[in-house]
Amino acid sequence: MSLHAPLTITNGRLLMADGRIEAGAIRCEAGFITAIGADVQAQDGDTVHDARRSLIAPGLVDIGVFAIDKPAFHFGGVTRAALMPDQNPPLDVPARVRFAAQSGKPDFWVHPLAAATQGLGGTALAEIAMMRDAGARAVCTGRRWVGDSGTMLRLLQYTGMLGMTVITHAEDAGIVGNAVATAGEMATRLGLPSAPAQAEALAISRDIALAEMAGAAIHFRNVTTASGLDLVRGAKARGLKVTAGVSPAYFMLSNLAIGAFRTFTHLSPALRCEEDRQAVIAGVADGTIDIVASGHDPRGPEDKRLPFADSAPGMSGAETLLPLTLSLVRDGVIDMARAFDLLAANPARLLGVNAGRLEVGAEADIAVVDTERPWIVNSDKMAASAGNTPFDRQPVQGRVLALFKGGVVVRTKKTAG
């Protein structure tokens, strides 16, 4: 039984599970949504929050983060995150998975991703069934691709029997090597080690073939090229259990952004050409891409204040995930319902958690959002443990005014920076 009073959020615009937006209120009790709609009223003893006609939406579910950085997640409206296995030590045994699953509670839920192989070495399979029982919601190859096709096939066969999804990094490591940029004019001009964009399509092609052989579900964490998206599109048309994700950087930026050698633009995969960026936008619009995730990877000066080729890839993305995705709504690429499918409903479905949508019986993870509120990204003032964002000083729109986890407030406008 919950020790907290029931919560009623009133005077808002509700983003309903079927995609409609309607005026009304939402009531939560014992951690779950108990009523939603135009006729919902607060009851005696309820905690009442006035949304002031802002959007009432599900809390975001972020798949594939590299660190649990609660201030940044709360700022960005994220109530749950799937933690990558690339920790120190890796999440490749049940005890570490169990510890990670408890690490954010009560105001943030961590869903660990089990390491696919021991030590993330890409050879021997890890104790996947035991890690599932310890709280792992999916299996992940980590930052790297599993190069051995036999190992990958055994992994997919095993996870297929367990009913788990494999989340994979889609780049052929033998081609990428130590590259930090995508091959082309920009990488040549800058003299940076580069790899062809086709490394992504080669990895996706092989893994789709193996997933089809195994009858297993596979999710490509970042699909960033036109050829890669075409492969995913074709696999879906054949009815395969294939899903794709992307981070906002790949629909907001092209490889022109690396021109100043600014290491905040050193990402993995590397930023692509403008044609691929446009293909990603089209993939979001037509449903080929299922999930937009932050890839949150805070990196301090020791990793970023280096020559570009020596720096570590990654960006701090939790705080900008929502406003950058909302830019696609303002541009007419997608509607608001599709935006929150990408940010909440679809990732929750992949993880098998009862969240990501506003409906009776779902867990009361709720964000109150001013979708038009302007602000300027400032890497020096971010809530994250490090401000390594390629969107530094960029104006954006969309700000979380209040956030509730299990019907309990974790952030309100009073604390908003």
- What is d(CA 21, CA 279) in angstroms, rounded to the nearest whole number? 29
pLDDT at 205: 98
Structural domain includes residue 173: yes
- What is d(CA 186, CA 197) in angstroms, rounded to the nearest whole number? 13
What is the largest distance, in Å, between two alpha-carbon atoms of the chain? 68
Structural domain includes residue 127: yes
Angle at the Cα of 83 from the Cα atoms of 121 and 392, rounded to 5 degrees: 105
What helix, strand, coil percent values describe the chain, rounded to 5?
35, 25, 40
- What is d(CA 276, CA 289) in angstroms, rounded to the nearest whole number? 14
User: Which of 170, 106, 162, 174 minimizes the C-alpha distance to 137?
Assistant: 162
- What is d(CA 133, CA 156) in angstroms, rounded to the nearest whole number? 18
Pair 194, 263: CB distance under 8 Å: no
What φ, ψ does residue 51 adopt, rounded to 5°?
Answer: -75, -15
First CA to last CA across the chain, in angstroms?
34
Pair 367, 57: CB distance under 8 Å: yes
pLDDT at 29: 96
Structural domain includes residue 26: no
Burial of 274 (0-12, 13-18, 19+ CB in 10 A): exposed
Structural domain includes residue 22: no
User: Which of 96, 88, 51, 218 minimizes the C-alpha distance to 146?
Assistant: 218
pLDDT in tens, the chain (417 residues): 457 899 999 999 999 999 999 999 999 999 999 999 999 999 999 999 999 999 999 999 999 999 999 999 999 999 999 999 999 999 999 999 999 999 989 999 999 999 999 999 999 999 999 999 999 999 999 999 999 999 999 999 999 999 999 999 999 999 999 999 999 999 999 999 999 999 999 999 999 999 999 999 999 999 999 999 999 999 999 999 999 999 999 999 999 999 999 999 999 999 999 999 999 999 999 999 999 999 999 999 999 999 999 999 999 999 999 999 999 999 999 999 999 999 999 999 999 999 999 999 999 999 999 999 999 999 999 999 999 999 999 999 999 999 999 999 998 865 444
Burial of 109 (0-12, 13-18, 19+ CB in 10 A): buried
Structural domain includes residue 191: yes
- What is d(CA 310, CA 299) in angstroms, rounded to the nearest whole number? 13
- What is d(CA 78, CA 58) in angstroms, rounded to the nearest whole number? 9
pLDDT at 213: 97
Q: What is the DSSP string of 236-257?
A: HHTT--EEEEE-THHHH--GGG
- What is d(CA 318, CA 324) in angstroms, rounded to the nearest whole number? 11
Pair 321, 60: CB distance under 8 Å: yes
Look up residue 173 and give its amino acid: A
pTM of the predicted model as reported, rounded to 2 decimal places: 0.95
Structural domain includes residue 378: no
pLDDT at 416: 40
Give the DSSP H/E element, type plus range, for residue 60: strand 60-65
Within 8 A by CB and 6+ apart from 38, the residues are 22, 23, 24, 25
Q: How far is CA 267 from the centre of its chain?
A: 15
Task: Count Cα atoms within 13 angstroms, Cβ side, for 397.
Answer: 9
Tokens of 104: 């954010």
Domain, as residue range, for 321: 60-351
Kindly report the number of other CB atoms within 10 A of residue 255's CB atom: 25
Structural domain includes residue 218: yes
Q: Tell me, what DSSP letter sits at residue 321?
A: H
- What is d(CA 164, CA 156) in angstroms, rounded to the nearest whole number? 9
- What is d(CA 68, CA 63) in angstroms, rounded to the nearest whole number? 12
Tokens of 368: 């109150």
Structural domain includes residue 125: yes
User: How many domains, in total, are found in the chain?
Assistant: 1
- What is d(CA 133, CA 88) in angstroms, rounded to the nearest whole number? 21
pLDDT at 1: 44
Tokens of 299: 């990196």
**Could you check whether the bond before residue 85 is cis, i.e. omega within 30 degrees of 0?**
no
- What is d(CA 369, CA 322) in angstroms, rounded to the nearest whole number? 10
Strands, E assignment, 240-351: 242-246, 291-292
CATH number at residue 105: 3.20.20.140
